[in-house]
Amino acid sequence: MLFLIMTALLILPVLIILATLIYKGGPAISWEFLFDDPREGMTAGGIFPALVGTIWLVAVALLVSVPLGVAAALYLSEFAPDNWFTRFINLCIINLAGVPSIVHALFGVGAFVLFFGFGTSILAASLTLAIMTLPIVIVATRESLQAVPLAFREACWNMGATRWQTIHRVVLPNAVSGILTGVILEVSRTTGETAPIMFTGAAFFLPFLPTSVFDQTMAMSLHLFVISTQVPGVPDHLPYGVALVLIAMVLTMNAASIGLRMYLRGKKKW
Amino acid sequence: MNDQGVATILETSQPATAAKGPVKLAVHNLSISYGGTPALVGVDLEIHENEIFGIIGPANSGKTSFLKALNRMDMFNPAMQVAGDILFNGTNIRQWRNVYALRRRIGVVFPLPVGLPMTVYDNVALAPRLSGVNRKADLDDIVERCLRRAALWDEVKDRLDSLGSLLSGGQQQRLTIARALSQDPELLMLDEFSIAVDPVTTMRIEDVLKELRTEMTIILVTNLTQQARRLADRTAFFLTGSCVEIGDTEALFTGNVQDTRTADYIAGRFG
Ligand SMILES: Nc1ncnc2c1ncn2[C@@H]1O[C@H](COP(=O)(O)OP(=O)(O)OP(=O)(O)O)[C@@H](O)[C@H]1O
Ligand SMILES: [Mg+2]
């Protein structure tokens, strides 16, 4: 009974947030809101550039962090010897996960904007996001790799398979559901982040769509921050509308992740 | 002393042995330890071509470790150290340039069946595919032949596309045997294969093994001493990390032993 109440208490804030957003932001949602540029100093019009910008940022970040993270996890799980160096790497990953996002943002400015000279651009912002979410991909991938029983690997090795053949034929196919779940988790985290992108590539107001990774772009999360705190005279329903769309994006990703997990678990092979 | 004399002595000292083939596997002073703790010490033995070589012994005597050393599975376990020489076809297995090729010549069946999480067909076709066989017709042939030999074909021929890991325990074990055979091995090592198999199937597999001995050499590790008696030409008795005795199976089982512990174990007085 106590547990039931505590569970209910967990659900409550989520429900309240959702209800408020739908109640206050729902009226703002329209075809025009989604597919129009912001107008009149962002006090009217739509959010299209921010929507597209967020998709760019997330996509580029994934393009970097997924290959890198999966490769790192493969190394850690399948190849790395158990020595101080490996343990040190694992410690670093845990620490990387704990670094506040504003610190990542400053790192991004120093490394990508200034040192590598990417300027404030999608590339710099996405790289910052990628570094920040790398631990999620690594940890999720490593855990799903290690969930594949050793006996499967040994059976393969006994047949004369090399390590790579074993990974390719047996380990990866059985770890892919866990890896995908991690990736989706990363997407939903990346979508909502504001701090890491506001100094590295996201623009205050830029009613054009980006054409390459070297452009700046608007982004949903920053746009929400801007119109709710920085711009006077924004009608109430606008920020709520933006928040609602943002939350809808994240929840859709999470739902997709849960659905995918259930689907793949249904197909679970052992 | 001439060659004739040596041969005579060998024959007279081991009278019950039938004509032996050439030595397939020679093990000299083999010791295995895990992180410094010895698991097997100073084993010397020779296994001949087309022979079924039995290994019996109580738990923890080092039987499985012995098999693992033979196909260099120690490579995957940094804690496992192997000392001594193992000669396969006269060549030290440490000098094999390609360990993967070595493992392909040695089929292994472990006590707990491991149906890989892929279809029955893919389970058996995996090893041929790894060594580059890709034509559907060739693979079909191999899969059917190996499943027949493992006495599994009739039960799975209509469900080759279902998951290998969903077969019953006994079926999975026979699938593992089919998989080992799909490598077309020169040496087949079975480690307590009948643990997960019912008696009837066990007898069918034993019949298969008797047929297979004309094509390959077989090492049979077993908990069932009677199984060794039924199948093995010669049998080794392992006890707490050492090889106590090697002899003709019939001789051992008829009390003709050098060490009383062997007789005690066979008679079921311990272990
Ligand atoms: N991977 C391992 N790491 C550490 N020690 C091990 C490992 N495998 C086996 N050993 C140890 O080596 C010794 C011999 O084990 P082994 O598995 O070879 O015995 P066995 O004769 O096959 O026993 P059983 O009949 O129970 O299968 C045991 O004391 C065991 O604890
Ligand atoms: Mg064993």
Tens digits of residue pLDDT in B126-180: 999 988 888 999 999 999 999 998 888 999 989 898 888 888 888 888 899 999 9
Structure tokens belonging to residue A107: 């790192």
Query: What does residue B30 show for φ and ψ, rounded to 5 degrees?
Result: -80, 125
**B12 in a domain, yes or no?**
no
The rounded mean pLDDT for chain A is 87
Ligand 1 pocket at CB < 6 A: B 34, 39, 57, 59-65, 77, 79
Under the banding of pLDDT at 50, 70 and 90, the label for residue B7 is very low
Model confidence at B14: pLDDT above 60: no
**B224 in a domain, yes or no?**
yes
For residue B104, give its domain range.
52-65+100-235+244-266
What pLDDT score was predicted for residue A88? Answer: 93
Tens digits of residue pLDDT in A158-171: 998 989 999 998 89
Q: What is the CATH number of the domain that holds A208?
A: 1.10.3720.10
What pLDDT score was predicted for residue B181? Answer: 93
What pLDDT score was predicted for residue A267? Answer: 65
Report whether B26 contacts B261 (CB < 8 A). no
What pLDDT score was predicted for residue B139? Answer: 93
Model confidence at B206: pLDDT above 80: yes
Do B103 and A270 lie within an 8 Å CB cutoff? no
What pLDDT score was predicted for residue A269? Answer: 58
Residue A262 CB-density burial (10 A; 0-12 exposed, 13-18 middle, 19+ buried): exposed
- Cα A105 to chain centroid, rounded: 15
**B120 in a domain, yes or no?**
yes
Q: How far apart are CA B150 and CA A252, in angstroms?
A: 49
Domain count, chain A: 1
**A224 in a domain, yes or no?**
no
What pLDDT score was predicted for residue B190? Answer: 93
Do B116 and A158 lie within an 8 Å CB cutoff? no
Which atom of ligand 1 is nearest to B57's Cα? 21
Beta bridge partners of B236: B55, B246
> Any idea what DSSP says for residue B74?
G
Model confidence at B90: pLDDT above 50: yes
Model confidence at B194: pLDDT above 90: no
Residue of A39, A53, A31 lying closest to A231 (CA atoms): A39
Structure tokens belonging to residue B7: 């041969």
**B42 in a domain, yes or no?**
no
**B46 in a domain, yes or no?**
no
**B191 in a domain, yes or no?**
yes
The rounded mean pLDDT for chain B is 86
Better pLDDT: B11 or B38: B38
A160 contacts in chain B (CB < 8 Å): 100-104, 127, 130-131, 183
User: Is residue B79 within 8 angstroms of chain A, CB to CB?
Assistant: no
Do A152 and B116 lie within an 8 Å CB cutoff? yes
Q: What is the CATH number of the domain that holds B168?
A: 3.40.50.300
**A9 in a domain, yes or no?**
no
Model confidence at B5: pLDDT above 60: no
**A47 in a domain, yes or no?**
no
Report whether A135 contacts A116 (CB < 8 A). no
For residue A247, give its domain range.
57-218+235-266
Do A160 and B176 lie within an 8 Å CB cutoff? no
Report whether A124 contacts A133 (CB < 8 A). no
Do B117 and A169 lie within an 8 Å CB cutoff? no
Residue whose CA lies nearest to ligand 1 atom number 2: B34
Q: Which ligand is nearest to the CA of B62?
A: 1
**A86 in a domain, yes or no?**
yes
Q: How far apart are CA B180 and CA A251, in angstroms?
A: 48
Report whether B68 contacts B80 (CB < 8 A). yes
- Among A7-16, A63-72, A85-94, B2-11, the range scoring the smallest mean pLDDT is B2-11
B166 contacts in chain A (CB < 8 Å): 269
Tens digits of residue pLDDT in A111-126: 999 999 888 899 999 9
Domain count, chain B: 1
Tens digits of residue pLDDT in A60-113: 999 999 999 999 999 999 888 888 999 999 999 988 888 898 999 999 999 999
**B194 in a domain, yes or no?**
yes
Question: Å from A162 to nearest chain B CA?
Answer: 7
**A34 in a domain, yes or no?**
no
ipTM over 0.95: no
Q: How far is CA B216 from CA A10, A29, A229, B89, B141, in A?
A: 65, 74, 80, 13, 20
Question: Å from B186 to nearest chain A CA?
Answer: 13
Which atom of ligand 1 is nearest to B111's Cα? 27
Instruction: Give, to the nearest 10 degrees, the angle between helix B169-182 and helix A150-158.
Output: 30
**B3 in a domain, yes or no?**
no
Report whether A163 contacts A225 (CB < 8 A). no
- Among A147-156, A199-208, B53-62, B234-243, the range scoring the smallest mean pLDDT is A199-208
Tens digits of residue pLDDT in A169-192: 889 988 888 888 888 888 888 888
Residue B184's closest chain A neighbor by CA?
Answer: A159
For testing contact with chain A, the best of B72, B100, B182 (most A CBs within 10 A): B100
CA of B265 to the centre of ligand 1 (A): 19
- Among A37-41, A217-221, B34-38, B54-58, the range scoring the smallest mean pLDDT is A37-41
Q: How far apart are CA A147 and CA A95, in angstroms?
A: 23
